[in-house]
A and B are shown apart, each in its own frame.
Chain A
Amino acid sequence: MLFSAILTGLVLGGTYALVAMGLTLQYGVARIMNLAYGDIIIAASFGAYVLFTALGINPLLGMLIVIPAGFALSWLIYAVMLQPLARRSRDRGRLEGDSILATFGLLFVIQGVALVLFGSGFMSYSFLAVPVDILGTTVAANRLLAFVLAVVFGLGLWLVLTRTRFGTVIRAVAANPASAPLVGINVDSVARFAFAIGGALAAAGGVVVSMYLTFSATMGVIFTMKALIVVIMGGVGNLMGALAAGLILGLVETLVASFIDPGLTLAATYLIFLTVLVVRPQGLFGRAAR
């Protein structure tokens, strides 16, 4: 019982970590607090759903379509909507305020489109729902796949950011956007690119979510919230922190749901969030005074 709860928690946590990595890129590099992030995730889930049920395309192959679409959509959102705001605002506080408000509006637009297209019902499809035996506990194969995918994407992103020249450029902008132009970095285009990669990760997360969870058009807010909590717990811009915090959040949620009461998972999430905010506002793994 405990072992199976931990396993479920790890799977859920892997998805949270994957999703939060995208948000930490968007907020850490592009300085946009994107409240519509969860709705991009849900949009990708719907995309995978349509591809699978209408066209019979396996979600793994579907990723090849959905992830570039998420990248393109986010690129467009940043170029059309957020870049003018970033240019207009002189200080960071103003940009944060404006971007929160603008993406709050975007949240309702995306959610509204999803409601018109798919209605408000819960959706799911059955993909790889075969039991797999791990150390005496049975887990559905799609959950296992979800965890593996989260690990692969997370590791890939981490390698790109730490081992390549382009990753170094991104980290330079995250560390100090004012000095980055001095070494010949085009902050505008790097920010746009980082925001788009964040959107691609959200899309990947959405496909993963759709493989093993039921989802609905209005669930985006919950994913945004959880991704935000993971980002803050892990420390803004800290990928490994997001990974650890995502796993912790997934474990806590599953343990609370299976041993206390499923109705209190969100309350538990909030309790962790508040504790982290009050005790370590720089994040569990962040350094003080970034």
Chain B
Amino acid sequence: MMKLVFALAALAALALVPAFAGPYPLGLGIGILGYGVLATAWAMFSGPTRYISLATVAFFGLGAYTVAVLADMLPYPLVLLVAAFVGLVVALIVGLATLRLAGIYFVIFTFGLTELVRQLVTYYEVNVTRTLGRYVFLPLGPEHIYWQLLALLAATLAIAFWVSRARIGLALRVIGDDPVVASHLGIRITRTKLTLFSISCVIMTLAGAIQAPRWTYIEPSIVFNPTTSFLVVIMALLGGPNRLFGPLLGAVPLFLLFEWLSANFPNHYSIILGLLFIAIVFVLPNGVLAAGDSLWSRLTRREARP
């Protein structure tokens, strides 16, 4: 109960940020929230199963593109619904095709999925609509985007919390630890994985859809930028993909670091990113929170045993 009150108070405090913050801090806030949503959604599925999805930006970009295409035709809430639906359909297709197979095939497929979706969208735009690039004009200011993302983040965290407590989350953890045991326990492996994969992908799609008005001009090479997928994985890994707040805690420092890097070292950006990524895989395989926990338990144990 206390935790719930605390969470609601934190949410209310964060919702007031646009009233005080200038345009630049607000932009940073939007970036952090956006990546926080993506990393939390990514970890919801990939944390317990260890099925590493490298296709985050494919769904993110699909959401953004849906908004770009439909913004003039439908009212905004309906556009978001359609975007979520598009994300769901693609997630189901990808999931049904790949989730039955060993994890490695899933990784490889998602690795190329972004490129595939990008090429298909480009092909469609060039050959059918004959324009590459679209403009998004929606009467939404940065503060509206901030609030929407905040709401989405709250919803994502709530879903992640519920999943970690519910049967389906436990089932997913068993599958991640040992699929053979899981099937002997009577867990429907494919259905469980597919459900959570779809939830996670729909959230990613919505994150893209909500942020679409920020760009004004949208082109496949902008919204399907593979670096985004990469950043999401590294954020979730840094914070710890098996903790509720882990991915979010990884997203805050890394997003700020990347902002600083891209402003100061635009040419060496990806080299530094890659090295950082390798370092995190080596040093913190379970994330900062888990490393902190084990350090803490080691310290306290030493004190208890004089």
| Residues of chain A whose beta carbon lies under 8 Å from any beta carbon of chain B | 33, 35, 81, 84-85, 93, 96-98, 100-102, 104-113, 115-116, 221-222, 224-225, 228, 232, 261, 263-264, 266-267, 270, 273-274, 277-278, 281
- CB-contact partner of A109 in B127, B275, B282, B285, under 8 A: B275
Question: Is B273 in contact with A277, judged by CB distance below 8 angstroms?
Answer: no
Contacts of B271 in A (CB 8 A): 108-109, 112-113, 116
Taking CB atoms and an 8 Å cut-off, the chain B residues in 95-142 that contact chain A are 97-98, 101-105, 107-109, 111-112, 115-116, 119-120, 122-123, 126-127
Question: Is A97 in contact with B52, judged by CB distance below 8 angstroms?
Answer: yes
- CB-contact partner of B97 in A100, A109, A221, A278, under 8 A: A278
Contacts of A115 in B (CB 8 A): 267, 270
Question: Is B269 in contact with A112, judged by CB distance below 8 angstroms?
Answer: yes
3 A-B pairs with the lowest CB-CB distances in the bound complex, closest first: A108-B274, A105-B277, A112-B271
Give, as a whole number of angstroms, the nearest-CB distance from A256 to chain B.
12
Question: Is B281 in contact with A105, judged by CB distance below 8 angstroms?
Answer: yes
Please tell me the size bucket of the interface on B: 35 or more
- With an 8 A cutoff between CB atoms, is B18 at the interface? no
Closest to A107 in B: B274
| Dominant secondary structure at the B interface | helix
Question: Is A102 in contact with B281, judged by CB distance below 8 angstroms?
Answer: yes
Bound complex: CA A223 to CA B278 (Å): 22
Closest to A35 in B: B111
Contacts of B282 in A (CB 8 A): 84-85, 102
Give, as a whole number of angstroms, the nearest-CB distance from A221 to chain B.
7
| Dominant secondary structure at the A interface | helix
Give, as a whole number of angstroms, the nearest-CB distance from A83 to chain B.
12
Question: Is A106 in contact with B111, judged by CB distance below 8 angstroms?
Answer: no
Contacts of A96 in B (CB 8 A): 103-104
Contacts of A264 in B (CB 8 A): 119, 123
Give, as a whole number of angstroms, the nearest-CB distance from B218 to chain A.
19
- With an 8 A cutoff between CB atoms, is B237 at the interface? yes
Contacts of A100 in B (CB 8 A): 52, 104, 107
Contacts of A93 in B (CB 8 A): 50, 103
Question: Is A101 in contact with B116, judged by CB distance below 8 angstroms?
Answer: no
Question: Is A33 in contact with B278, judged by CB distance below 8 angstroms?
Answer: no
Closest to A217 in B: B270
Question: Is A266 in contact with B97, judged by CB distance below 8 angstroms?
Answer: no
Give, as a whole number of angstroms, the nearest-CB distance from A75 to chain B.
18
- A97-B50, A263-B122 known; A228+B108 contact, CB < 8 A: yes
